[in-house]
Amino acid sequence: MAVPLMQAVRVGAYVVKQHLSGRKRYPLVLMLEPLFRCNLACAGCGKIDYPAPILNQRLSVQECLDADTECGAPVIAVAGGEPLLHKEMPQIISGLLARKKYVYLCTNALLLEKKMDDYQPHPYFSWDVHLDGDQTMHDQSVCQDGVFDRAVSAIKKAKARGFRVSINCTLFDGADPKRVADFFDEVMAMGVDGIMTAPGYAYERAPDQAHFLNRQKTKQLFRDIFRYGKGKKWKFTQSPLFLNFLAGNETYHCTPWGKPLRNVFGWQRPCYLLGEGYASSFKELMDDTAWEQYGTGNYEKCADCMVHSGYESTAVMDAVKRPLHILKVALKGPQTEGEMAPEISLANQRPAEYVFSKHVEEAMEEIKARKPAKAPVVKRVASETADAAD
Ligand code: SF4
């Protein structure tokens, strides 16, 4: 099983409890971004295009634990930026584990071998290593040669030390289904515990805007990949219904509050992918966000989104409502032939609003007010050396 049985049982019990209590919106996974700074500058990344004073901001250990207290989700994914650049990351992880949270530490693995001894294998802990395909695909995706080999070396070392390790594979336009299928075979042979996969979200701040998949291409790509996977024992960390959605067999609306994001700006509205505003508390995020303004069919920036951070929660909640359906998909795998499920109409979506610059200006003003002695140096994100830490 890609997800430990105990984790599946606890998350399932949590979801059923929320349903029975009649709670309309609830989180499944807390997304924590304790920093934006990264040691790579990937072509499809829309998370790191900030001036240096913002990249230098960090959530403290206490702020991360407070985010968990506010949110209460059973699973926490720590992302960024590159989390291993955060000096207090071992304390953040041990603090969350002490609260019996299932923690995924997302990393590009460039610092993993160097920092591995700061962490201990734990039944609730997993490394989640970014790998966007085989050596050529991944190094091209992260715009740097040699990254795939370093990540694979770190994965093997982590497995040898007894850690759980999953991989996070984001796919873009032009991905060859056979090569992706061969890559999934390769990582399974390496002994990884699970694969998480999704199409890249079309971040407006990503340097490469030409290779994001639209919905039709996404569905066809995943159908083709899953067809190669028939009869194989690929282990995914995602719900079978989310995979069925990727393959075009479910008409789902996103659940942006299912994976709420806390970063150095606050609680991001409306979701992990889109930063249209920030709330100062989790309650404010849940209560005061105009959720109906977002999602495919409602907002132009959501038109092609099929990412797990928006739809995995929808799939999990659907599983509670339709247990026989998930059982069938789990046994047979995602459907790869026949007509696809109807698509959501985009006829009435509202046009995109561009608010990034305003948020950056506000954040810079706030930082300046905190540190009046030093004028901020505004510059475009540049990659740092792989071994830089803080
Ligand atoms: S479709 Fe949903 S999850 Fe995707 S970007 Fe829009 S609000 Fe976020």
Supply 224's token pair. Answer: 């083709």
Residue 254 Cβ < 6 Å to ligand 1:
yes
**DSSP secondary structure string for all residues of 177-198:** HHHHHHHHHHHHHHT-SEEEEE
* Domains of the chain with CATH codes: 5-370 (3.20.20.70)
| Closest C-alpha residue for ligand 1 atom 4 | 305
Q: How far is CA 14 from CA 11, 72, 73, 305, in A?
A: 5, 10, 9, 27
Q: What is the structure's pLDDT at 3?
A: 84
Residue 241 Cβ < 6 Å to ligand 1:
no
Q: Which residue has the higher pLDDT, 386 or 359?
A: 359
Q: How confident is the model at residue 385 (pLDDT cuts 50, 70, 90)?
A: very low
What percent of the chain is predicted at pLDDT more than 70? 95
Reduce the DSSP state of residue 223 to 3 states and report it. Answer: helix
Give distance in angstroms: CA of 294 to centre of ligand 1: 6
Distance, CA of 58 to CA of 287 (rounded, Å): 26
Residue 316 Cβ < 6 Å to ligand 1:
no
Residue 93 Cβ < 6 Å to ligand 1:
no
| Closest C-alpha residue for ligand 1 atom 8 | 271
Residue type present at position 24 = K
Per the CB < 8 A criterion, the answer to whether 84 and 107 are in contact is yes
**Mean of the pLDDT values across residues 263-276?**
96
Residue 333 Cβ < 6 Å to ligand 1:
no
Q: What is the structure's pLDDT at 352?
A: 96
Residue 133 Cβ < 6 Å to ligand 1:
no
Distance, CA of 184 to CA of 133 (rounded, Å): 8
Give 65-99 pLDDT, tens digit per residue.
999 999 999 999 999 999 999 999 999 999 999 99
Residue 305 Cβ < 6 Å to ligand 1:
yes
Atom of ligand 1 nearest to the CA of 311: 3
Give 322-361 pLDDT, tens digit per residue.
999 999 999 999 999 999 999 999 999 999 999 999 999 9
Residue 202 Cβ < 6 Å to ligand 1:
no
Residue 252 has pLDDT above 90, yes or no: yes
| Closest C-alpha residue for ligand 1 atom 5 | 302
Q: What is the structure's pLDDT at 4?
A: 84
Q: How far is CA 365 from CA 73, 170, 348, in A?
A: 32, 34, 36
Q: Residues 6 or more apart from 358 whose CB is under 8 A from it?
A: none
What percent of the chain is predicted at pLDDT more than 90? 88
Give distance in angstroms: CA of 192 to centre of ligand 1: 29
Residue 387 has pLDDT above 70, yes or no: no
Residue 375 has pLDDT above 50, yes or no: no
Long-range contacts of 262-265 (CB under 8 A, 24+ apart): 262/30, 262/31, 262/32, 262/33, 262/59, 262/64, 262/67, 262/71, 263/32, 263/33, 263/34, 263/36, 263/59, 264/33, 264/34, 264/35, 264/36, 264/54, 264/57, 264/58, 264/59, 265/359, 265/363
Residue 270 Cβ < 6 Å to ligand 1:
yes
Residue 126 Cβ < 6 Å to ligand 1:
no
Q: How far is residue 173 CA from its own chain's centroid?
A: 19
Q: What is the structure's pLDDT at 372?
A: 56
Q: Helices in the chain by DSSP H: which ranges?
A: 5-20, 52-55, 61-71, 89-98, 112-115, 135-141, 147-160, 177-190, 215-229, 240-246, 282-288, 308-321, 323-332, 356-370
* Ligand 1 mutation target, pool 285, 291, 307, 312, most atoms within 8 A of CB: 307
Q: How far is CA 248 from CA 124, 130, 145, 224, 225, in A?
A: 32, 25, 34, 11, 13
Residue 306 Cβ < 6 Å to ligand 1:
no
| Closest C-alpha residue for ligand 1 atom 2 | 295
**Mean of the pLDDT values across residues 357-375?**
81
**pTM, whole model, 2 decimals?**
0.93
